[in-house]
Structure 1
């Protein structure tokens, strides 16, 4: 059975990714900050019992990657682990934090939290998995990032603000690009994916719900479906280190203004995004 690890899977996109991969006959390991009993109670009977929850994983803590490895190796005495010979075919780093800020009112702790979760944790998890020889050959390591991390798409018309969100996503893109260089000869394909503008607690929490209709926001289940399709069918090893929007230009607010002069009027789907 193909094995997947979804980091940040207790709600929103991560939850839907875990469920879709389970439906596609993956053995799924899914991390959560909460204990197993609490997560299963919150998610209810519709959450597949076969999904292995890795509990108490806080990506703001430096030992998060070590704890994930310990669980997978069965060292924590929880769950089933991977066993001695099985390895991960797919890892999706989905966890994210979005806290609004402005030039007038940046918050130091919020900025640190966003960068820890979004851009530092993917490196630490990848390093711990690699050092523990837990990547299958071949395998895929995917970072769910955002078009918000594209410097080219941050036009003057869009304005400023949200420094922590945009800078942490840009840093995550760089981490993914560098990982793709280090892991290429190890047959680990690294993908950077903008899944789309979604209706989630995170976007609602920063006031983006007022743009749901005008921006064509979709449910996490729809974004998860197109993300998994792209990973399984489009993300080949020669695309390692690239930055894609599987749903195409419909989810990119500045696509027409920024990309058409460079790529022409017919923007493809999936869409290769600029750094």
Structure 2
């Protein structure tokens, strides 16, 4: 494929959807810088290979150090994929408080703090993309379940809209992505679609959204998800 001359920073790409997105963007000719918290042999084995750097998004000092190391670089897309679903099936009143707070930290607080740190490095016409979920839709929550995870993604959506409002004069857009119900470690073997279907779809949506401002909440097919 012809070189796109576009650059993506994928945050949390050692496995699952992050790894799949790295594979897809590389195949589409993008330059990819991918991060992982620890060893990432599958990521480093991709051909063509991305640049790989280490960062834990829950560690503000580590994020600040990454920004220093990448000073002067610009990215068409900063895509924060990292997320957790600890004790997702446990109702919040019955679960461990510290675990629920950790889910909120990693899924809502840390992605927006990372986006804030790297906002000056998003290229004009680019995107900040945050991995959300249809479970973050308050309007669609009619059956409950996955309470702490749902709440964390709803919080992410709200924080993302505030982030966009705060940066409304900046030359980039904000995109919240629902990847579909995907057969990953988190999604489980009964999920609807595989990683390739989800990530090919998300990459296409991202490419179509380049140059658009505002905050959109879309799924991997490009359909709008109700807030």
Both proteins in one fold, TM over 0.5: yes
- Segments of structure 1 that go 5 or more residues without pairing to the other structure are 74-83, 248-269
Distance in 2, Cα, partners of 1:67 & 1:49: 26
User: Within 5 Å, which residues of 2 pair with 1:100-249?
Assistant: 100=88, 101-103=90-92, 105-130=94-119, 133-155=120-142, 158=143, 160-204=144-188, 209=189, 211-212=190-191, 217-234=192-209, 236-238=211-213, 240-247=214-221
Distance in 1, Cα, partners of 2:7 & 2:118: 14
> 1:273: how far off?
1.4
Residue aligned with 2:9, SS = strand
Distance in 1, Cα, partners of 2:10 & 2:179: 15
Task: Render the CA deviation track for 1:31-54: whole Å, top value 9, x for unaligned.
Answer: 1011xxx323xx187413630111
- Segments of structure 2 that go 5 or more residues without pairing to the other structure are none
> 1:236: how far off?
4.9
Would you tell me which structure has more strand in proportion to its own residues? 2
Q: 1:44 to 1:246 in 2, by over 3 A?
A: closer
User: Within 5 Å, which residues of 2 pair with 1:90-101?
Assistant: 90-99=77-86, 100=88, 101=90
Distance in 2, Cα, partners of 1:127 & 1:190: 12
Task: Render the CA deviation track for 1:129-159: whole Å, top value 9, x for unaligned.
Answer: 13xx31211211001100000011011xx2x
Residue aligned with 1:166, SS = helix
Q: 1:29 to 1:176 in 2, by over 3 A?
A: same
- RMSD of aligned residue pairs (Cα, Å): 1.9
Flag as ranges the 4+ runs of structure 1 deviating above 3 A. none
- Is the CA contact (8 Å cut-off) linking 1:145 and 1:192 kept in structure 2? yes
Equivalent in 7, 11, 18 of residue 14 of structure 1: 18
Would you tell me which structure has more helix in proportion to its own residues? 1
- Is the CA contact (8 Å cut-off) linking 1:54 and 1:71 kept in structure 2? no
Residue aligned with 2:187, SS = helix
**In the alignment, what sits opposite 2:47?**
48
> 1:115: how far off?
1.1
Distance in 2, Cα, partners of 1:45 & 1:109: 33
Distance in 1, Cα, partners of 2:81 & 2:124: 22
Distance in 1, Cα, partners of 2:184 & 2:125: 33
